[in-house]
Amino acid sequence: MTAVNDVIDLSREGEIAVITVNSPPVNALSARVREGLTEAFRKAAADGETKAIVLICDGKTFIAGADITEFGKPPVGIGLRDLEDVIECTPKPVIAALHGTALGGGLEVALCAHYRVAVPSTKCGLPEVNIGLLPGAGGTQRLPRIVGVEMALDMITSGRHVPANQCAAMGLIDELAPEGRLREAALAFARKAVAETRPLRKVRDSNAKVEAARGHPEIFANFRKANARRFRGFKAPEACIQCIEAAVNLPFDEGMKRERELFVELQKGSQSKAQQYAFFAEREVWKIPDVPVDTPTVPVNRVGIVGAGTMGGGIAMNFANAGIPVTIVEAKPEALERGLSVIRRNYVNTARKGRMTGGDVEKRMELLKGSLTLDDLANCDLIIEAVFENMDIKKDVFRKLDAIVKPGAILATNTSYLDTNEIARATQRPEFVIGLHFFSPANVMRLLEVVRADKTANPVIATAMQLAKRIGKIAVLVGVGYGFAGNRMLAQRQREANRLVLEGAMPWDVDRVLTEFGFPMGPFQMSDLAGLDLGWSKETSKSSTIREVLCEMDRRGQKTGAGFYDYDENRTPKPSPITAKIIEDFRARSGAAVRQISDEEILERCIYPMINEGAKILEEGKAIRASDIDVVWLNGYGWPRYRGGPMWYGDFIGLDKVLARMREWQSQMGDEFKASALLERLAAEHRTFGDVK
Ligand code: 3H9
């Protein structure tokens, strides 16, 4: 084996040259990889003994894409497309040997090989859309030439990873190799290609599938229409579609030009920067400076859950889905029965949609054991409390659990707001107490706020983070404080949304501005969905807020067919003249001065106080880094990914601008708008949240 450089090796086995990429962690196409590959291909092409070439990767995966860390920096070395030309024009058969994930630029390189061999566990995809880009190294032109236009539209705009057997069925992979035998299989394929003098098949030349779609613009029109909701606000999916249209309507080289233009346009725009930031932010959250990766963890083989309500049931499903047995405890048999049957119904619905089999439903239900006594949790390694949001009740549960569960077991609370330290103090084992704040519906939402209390031990934190990964969540470590990171910031937005209505905006104005910004729904639609009567009681209601008045009129949200909005039988919200009248009366009674409020003010008033609150969370050390706060908002509250997260957005619009507005509002409306010291400092120093390390 000869090292071409530190990441590329070239060797020969008989008449077959083997080029190996070894650039951990994911063999991304960095400048070194591109240079080494170019040189290796040139050498192998020039070598008289070599009759065919296998391109293979060491480590856990084939090339997983371009090196995203290079984006936005001045280009270095040979370009990816030039490397691809070298590969495609090699005068000897080139066989790409795939394992792991052949993604983005990695798959694009493989598409320039003349043949592709893969082990069955391989997945192929063009996920650039997820980072606000399009496949910019020929993927939009070559993929439809193999898999057809419809499949290319689906793969490129979803970015999904397609399993090898499906790729083989579509012709994207020529041969499946036995698992673990990739190298031998690829070498055998190469020898066969030489022996049979197989053609140097270039994907660029195979036009039948794109020509079949020519003169059928409805394919694209229908696709756009069917996916309008999913693509709303994002620029990359539309650019991907336009590239595939170019593949259909233009000669290959012209299509490549179009792809380049649109790629560069996306790369310059703020959306791709935001989405790339989000990609790395979601990988940073796992890194906790004072909890090193080698921190020991507690093995979690059985989980206990206290409370079989909506949260408890949803949380239980996460563990059952990961094959971890769960014991759920409820106080009353009817409540337990109801909780378990809701879980079963959820699984049956999933099975009905074809996303699991009847057998899977039974397997999961078998992992869930109901009980009416906390004593049955004695052998659990982790117990999650999901009872009513009341400090006394929670403390009582923890006191009891402490006496029952084995030493070393972790006690977790799912509280959304309450003081985890106070709950921990109810036990003799505060170092084993932690917060695990799941978001509703807990079996669907990806976010988990892991709440570190003052005494929580490092192994307990490490275990929680590891377990979150195991059940497919994205975990963010936060400190104790009312509402932790997410709900604490949400409270700012909610307060301003309500205040804006008193000042002259209508709920649907506020919701429209925030949905146009990119949220899936606005604060008032969200309130209607959750139910306006959460925490409301008829006996104590005094018509003191618009919400109370609505509840008193039995307009309690979607479930009663009316709330801030009126709803039809399809639950479509319509601005309500009744609500408008209630609001006008309320304003008149409270003597509020009503004025015209611009969309710009609505947006700024809802978002800037959140950014300011995020800064306070950071300066208090309740979140490790600004990007962790963004991960909370991206995964728990529907913050539009193409706007990075509230902290990224603050940096994007300029912290001096946020600060100026906060000061202005503070002078008009009081200290709720007082700027955080961190915001003041960063703005003064012309720095960003991203600069705070
Ligand atoms: C592209 O190809 C553009 C071209 O079309 C055109 C160009 C002209 N670059 O996710 P993990 C790092 S765009 C740099 O935790 P897993 C990652 O940050 C690209 N770094 O592992 C992490 O670092 P750290 C299209 C990358 O096993 C480490 O690798 N491709 C890249 O859970 C491990 O990552 C994609 O979008 C990269 N491309 O998942 C694929 N990828 O340890 C993006 C990863 O310091 N990657 N890193 O935190 C993935 O989807 C997943 O990483 C993968 C592995 C599935 C591969």
Q: pLDDT digit string (tens) for 104-144? A: 999 999 999 999 999 999 999 999 999 999 999 999 999 99
**Residue 524 scores a pLDDT above 80:** yes
Q: What is the pLDDT of residue 1?
A: 75
Does 136 contact ligand 1 (Cβ within 6 A)?
A: yes
CA of 26 to the centre of ligand 1 (A): 6
**Are 578 and 541 in the same domain?**
yes
**Are 172 and 200 in the same domain?**
yes
Does 632 contact ligand 1 (Cβ within 6 A)?
A: no
Does 557 contact ligand 1 (Cβ within 6 A)?
A: no
Q: Are 176 and 120 in contact (CB under 8 A)?
A: yes
Q: What is the pLDDT of residue 535?
A: 82
Nearest Cα residue to atom 51 of ligand 1: 64
CA of 104 to the centre of ligand 1 (A): 9
Give the pLDDT band (50/70/90) at residue 218.
very high
Ligand 1 atom showing the smallest separation from residue 66 Cα: 2
Structure tokens at 517: 């910004």
Nearest Cα residue to atom 6 of ligand 1: 136
Does 75 contact ligand 1 (Cβ within 6 A)?
A: no
CA of 579 to the centre of ligand 1 (A): 49
**Are 115 and 189 in the same domain?**
yes
Match 């009980």 to its residue by tokens.
371
Q: What is the pLDDT of residue 284?
A: 97
The amino acid sitting at 191 is R
- Identify whether 597 is part of a domain: no
**Residue 391 scores a pLDDT above 80:** yes
- Identify whether 639 is part of a domain: no
Q: Which of 35, 84, 88, 108 is catalytic?
A: 108
- C-alpha 563/C-alpha 586 separation (Å) is 16
CA of 265 to the centre of ligand 1 (A): 22
- For the chain, first and last CA: distance in Å? 42
Average pLDDT over residues 243-258: 98
CA of 448 to the centre of ligand 1 (A): 22
Ligand 1 atom showing the smallest separation from residue 126 Cα: 25
Nearest Cα residue to atom 22 of ligand 1: 283
- C-alpha 667/C-alpha 602 separation (Å) is 18
CA of 64 to the centre of ligand 1 (A): 6
Nearest to 243 by CA among 222, 265, 228, 270: 265
- C-alpha 609/C-alpha 373 separation (Å) is 45
**Residue 593 scores a pLDDT above 90:** no
- Identify whether 682 is part of a domain: no
Q: Which of 35, 84, 128, 259 is catalytic?
A: 128
Span 304-315, pLDDT tens digits: 999 999 999 999
CA of 282 to the centre of ligand 1 (A): 11
The enclosing domain of 412 has a CATH number of 3.40.50.720
Give the pLDDT band (50/70/90) at residue 590.
confident
- C-alpha 651/C-alpha 582 separation (Å) is 39
- Identify whether 431 is part of a domain: yes
- C-alpha 564/C-alpha 525 separation (Å) is 8
Does 69 contact ligand 1 (Cβ within 6 A)?
A: yes
Give the pLDDT band (50/70/90) at residue 401.
very high
Q: What is the pLDDT of residue 266?
A: 98
Which residue pairs from 526-533 have beta carbons closer than 8 angstroms and sit at least 24 positions apart in sequence? 527/557, 527/563, 527/564, 528/557, 528/558, 528/563, 528/564, 528/565, 528/567, 528/573, 529/557, 529/558, 530/557, 531/556, 531/557, 531/558, 531/559, 532/556, 532/557, 532/563, 532/564, 533/557
**Residue 479 scores a pLDDT above 90:** yes
Which residue among 61, 63, 68, 240 is best mutated to probe the pocket of ligand 1, counting the most ligand atoms within 8 A of its Cβ? 68
Does 65 contact ligand 1 (Cβ within 6 A)?
A: yes
CA of 260 to the centre of ligand 1 (A): 21
**Residue 216 scores a pLDDT above 80:** yes
Does 67 contact ligand 1 (Cβ within 6 A)?
A: yes
Give the pLDDT band (50/70/90) at residue 32.
very high
**Residue 203 scores a pLDDT above 80:** yes
Nearest Cα residue to atom 30 of ligand 1: 65
Average pLDDT over residues 269-281: 98
Structure tokens at 568: 């039809």
**Residue 386 scores a pLDDT above 90:** yes
- Identify whether 603 is part of a domain: no
CA of 127 to the centre of ligand 1 (A): 10
Does 676 contact ligand 1 (Cβ within 6 A)?
A: no
Does 66 contact ligand 1 (Cβ within 6 A)?
A: yes
Across-strand partners of 96? 55, 116
- Identify whether 661 is part of a domain: no
Ligand 1 atom showing the smallest separation from residue 79 Cα: 8
**Residue 638 scores a pLDDT above 80:** yes
**Are 190 and 113 in the same domain?**
yes
Question: Is 108 noted as a catalytic residue in this protein?
Answer: yes
Span 330-366, pLDDT tens digits: 999 999 999 999 999 999 999 999 999 999 999 999 9
Does 127 contact ligand 1 (Cβ within 6 A)?
A: yes
CA of 108 to the centre of ligand 1 (A): 15
| Chosen domain end from 485, 515, 534 | 485
Task: Determine what percent of the chain is predicted with pLDDT higher than 90.
Answer: 97
Confidence (pTM) = 0.95
Does 64 contact ligand 1 (Cβ within 6 A)?
A: yes
Q: What is the pLDDT of residue 660?
A: 98
The enclosing domain of 531 has a CATH number of 1.10.1040.50
**Are 448 and 545 in the same domain?**
no
Q: What is the pLDDT of residue 8?
A: 98
What's the number of domains the chain is made of?
3
Q: What is the pLDDT of residue 658?
A: 98
- Identify whether 609 is part of a domain: no
Q: Is the peptide bond before 25 cis (omega within 30 degrees of 0)?
A: yes
**Are 171 and 221 in the same domain?**
yes
Question: Is 128 noted as a catalytic residue in this protein?
Answer: yes
Domain that holds residue 579: 505-590
Q: What is the pLDDT of residue 211?
A: 97
Burial of 596 (0-12, 13-18, 19+ CB in 10 A): exposed
Across-strand partners of 162? 124
- C-alpha 324/C-alpha 364 separation (Å) is 9
| Chosen domain end from 211, 243, 268 | 268
- Identify whether 132 is part of a domain: yes
Nearest Cα residue to atom 47 of ligand 1: 26
Average pLDDT over residues 52-77: 95
Nearest Cα residue to atom 11 of ligand 1: 283
**Are 152 and 95 in the same domain?**
yes
Give the pLDDT band (50/70/90) at residue 45.
very high
Across the chain, what does the average pLDDT equal? 97
**Are 175 and 77 in the same domain?**
yes
DSSP annotation of 520 reads S
| Chosen domain end from 590, 612, 646 | 590
Which residue among 26, 85, 99, 240 is best mutated to probe the pocket of ligand 1, counting the most ligand atoms within 8 A of its Cβ? 26
**Are 517 and 469 in the same domain?**
no
Does 103 contact ligand 1 (Cβ within 6 A)?
A: yes
Ligand 1 atom showing the smallest separation from residue 103 Cα: 30
- C-alpha 295/C-alpha 151 separation (Å) is 45
**Are 366 and 400 in the same domain?**
yes
**Are 319 and 427 in the same domain?**
yes
**Are 22 and 92 in the same domain?**
yes
Q: What is the pLDDT of residue 72?
A: 86
Nearest Cα residue to atom 49 of ligand 1: 64
The enclosing domain of 69 has a CATH number of 3.90.226.10
Ligand 1 atom showing the smallest separation from residue 137 Cα: 6
Ligand 1 atom showing the smallest separation from residue 130 Cα: 36
Nearest Cα residue to atom 32 of ligand 1: 283
Q: What is the pLDDT of residue 693?
A: 78
CA of 65 to the centre of ligand 1 (A): 7
